[in-house]
Structure 1
Amino acid sequence: MNAKPYGWKLLASEIAVVLVAALFLAPFYFVVANSFKSFAELLADTSGLPKSLDWHNYARAWDVLKFPRALRNSIVITAFSDICMVVVSSLAAYRLLRYPSRTNRILFSLFIASMVVPFQTIMIPLVKVGNWLHFLNSLPGIIFCYTGLGASFTIFLYHGFMKSIPQEIEESALIDGCTPYGIFWRIVFPLLKSMTVTVVVLQSLWMWNDFLLPLLVLQKPQLQTIQLATNSLFGQYMQQWDLALAALVMGIAPILAFFLALQRHIIQGITAGAVKG
């Protein structure tokens, strides 16, 4: 294949891409750079580099926010919600796809329709129902809420991905005497690896960074997530930006590392799910 000549159009495109990337990365620069500054230095020069890499803000934020406790809560909520969503949604998608009926088609349509309903329209009824079921101020309660709220999108992804799996494999296993649950867990679910990773990454990004649902459900200080703990630094008469920026960096680091480690599976899973076998 003949390579295209490097012209001014390609150069202009590359410059535009670099500028757009710099625009999106600018907030990360401001957060990281200002997290090393004292409060006075931060107010004096917001855009400049810190005079020295002083970790005092990180140490204070670690103690003031009780960061290990908040980190543990965020990890527990995200991890167990992911597990529940993967198990429930993969089984539901398999049933809806492999056992076609009018009822299943209606159920799948309802799952898809629920994806366009804004959370703000259901948050008050959700809190009332959660209060009746004693789900407020408990980690299992918010895990149950996240599982239900994320089920529609997860079922949609699994449903599309399973269309690319040949049904003849399952029929062969059925002839050999495998049970329906055995077919799913031993044959189908291992083939869902790339989509499962995609689901875990996308839903983890949402739950880790979510602020509104934990604010509504978790009122006790010992149950606060990283976002709720960071919000405590902002009051009516006091805003501790130096500690808040350090807390933001510490809160972003784990989920950013998780995303970078698994990002290649996201495109692979979504593109595979777009192909019908």
Structure 2
Amino acid sequence: MEQDSRYRVQTLILEVVLVLVGLLFLVPFYFLLSNSLKTFGEILSDAAALPGSLQWANYKAGWEAINFPSAFKNSLIITVVSNLLLVLLSSMAAYQMVRRPSLFNRILFGVFVAAMVIPFQSIMLPLTDITSRFGLSDSLWGLIICYIGFGAPLSVFLFQGSMKAIPLEIEQAARVDGAGTYGVFFRIVYPMMRPMYVTVIILNTLWIWNDYLLPSLILTSENLQTIPIATYMLFGQYTKQWDLALPALVLGILPVIIFFLAMQKYIVSGIAAGAVKG
């Protein structure tokens, strides 16, 4: 009885600590939401206070200031196309590496793993030079190709671990029934790896949607700006339009938060599947 009571007390303390930690992570959202509904003067005078009156007009002004429909369209195209190509190419590459364990494939997988630890800052200048030489600068497709290159190492790594958990006997039975390589992949492997597909899409979406540095290097035209770049334009050397930037930030992160909350149940199952070694 005493042990059960001690267990309940420890569980209660742990739950209280976790709730407090969770509330701590929500503090930045409080500052973002509350200040997005204030006047510029209220933001400067006391950023921690609640708004005196809700300035919903800030959202309309922020919407127009960053040309939100155009920025949203560009971000959506880049994120969706990059994700589709990343999951397709990375999963097929990982399948080849797992099912054809040659020396070349082992070396290639090692290169993918090594690429994950290369600092992006060390290749910024060569990247801008190469994209300019190949006519990929100031182009959505050029940015998408860059995202595929930078996102492939982690995606291949996750898919490779998940592939090892699929029994080879299932694929062999499908081949006996007449299925080819593509038939086995899309009819057998893909359905069994769906949690990992969703996991890779979620992780890449959070990265690509919120990325500022890579689009700022590749895109220069105003009509090609993504949401992070368009929002950054509200911050100049001498002026910082907080009353417009904060509502724009809320509008920018809202779609990806909704997407994450709708899909986050697949993260744990997908990463757990990728951690299984054959």
Q: TM-score, structure 2 length as denominator? A: 0.96
Sequence identity of aligned pairs in percent? 51
Q: Which residue in the other structure is 2:38 paired with?
A: 37
Distance 1:199 1:4 in 2: 41
Q: CA deviation at 1:7?
A: 5.3
Cα deviation 1:232-275 (Å, max 9, x = unaligned):
00001100011110001000100000000000001011112222
Gaps of 5+ in 1: none
Q: Which residue in the other structure is 2:15 paired with?
A: 14
Q: Please list, as runs of the form range in 1=range in 2, the aligned pairs for 1:105-254 lying within 5 A after superposition.
A: 105-254=106-255
Distance 1:213 1:48 in 2: 35
Q: Secondary structure at the match of 2:195?
A: helix
Distance 2:10 2:164 in 1: 41
Cα deviation 1:157-198 (Å, max 9, x = unaligned):
000001111111111111122111111112111211100000
Q: Please list, as runs of the form range in 1=range in 2, the aligned pairs for 1:23-102 lying within 5 A after superposition.
A: 23-102=24-103
Q: CA deviation at 1:109?
A: 0.6
Q: CA deviation at 1:51?
A: 2.0
Q: Secondary structure at the match of 1:60?
A: helix
Amino acid at match of 1:4: D
RMSD (CA atoms): 1.5
Assess, with a 3 A threshold, how the Cα gap between structure 1 residues 94 and 7 changes in structure 2: closer, same or farther: closer
Cα deviation 1:85-126 (Å, max 9, x = unaligned):
011000000000000111100000110011011111111111
Q: CA deviation at 1:45?
A: 2.0
Distance 1:263 1:3 in 2: 36
Distance 1:133 1:189 in 2: 34
Matched residue pairs, number? 276
Distance 1:211 1:30 in 2: 21
Distance 1:38 1:95 in 2: 57
